[in-house]
Amino acid sequence: MMLDDKLDDLKRYYSIGEVAELFGVSRSLIRFWEAEFDNIRPQKNVKGERRYTKATIEQIRCVYELVKERGYTIQGAKQALKDRREQEQRREEVIAQLQEIRAFLERLKP
């Protein structure tokens, strides 16, 4: 799902209705995913209305892809997201190590 085409570049926040419509799901499903997935945490205004940023919508997209498009269970989607986070963390650690090695080798150059 290409979200960039559907999101307004000038808009900062989206309502739960807009997000539900974007994914073609109910508002209650969005609220359920919020309760189940720690990474989906919309901001709330003074009235308590949910306000979704593009980053939050991207997290919902990940859940949508796993659950609705790939057929994962909620538990399976949680595990897949955890695995992705761990893999990304390992990747960042490797990149940092490689940058340190490069800097060391640069210092060795005459």
Where do the domains of the chain lie? 16-82
The reported pLDDT for the residue numbered 88 is 95
pTM of the model: 0.78
Query: In this model, does residue 4 exceed pLDDT 70?
Result: no
pLDDT in tens, 45-73: 999 999 999 999 999 999 999 999 999 99
In whole angstroms, what separates CA 2 from the centre of its chain? Answer: 14
- Residue with the bigger pLDDT between 84 and 11: it is 84
Average pLDDT for the chain? 92
Per CATH, domain 16-82 is 1.10.8.100: no
The reported pLDDT for the residue numbered 1 is 55
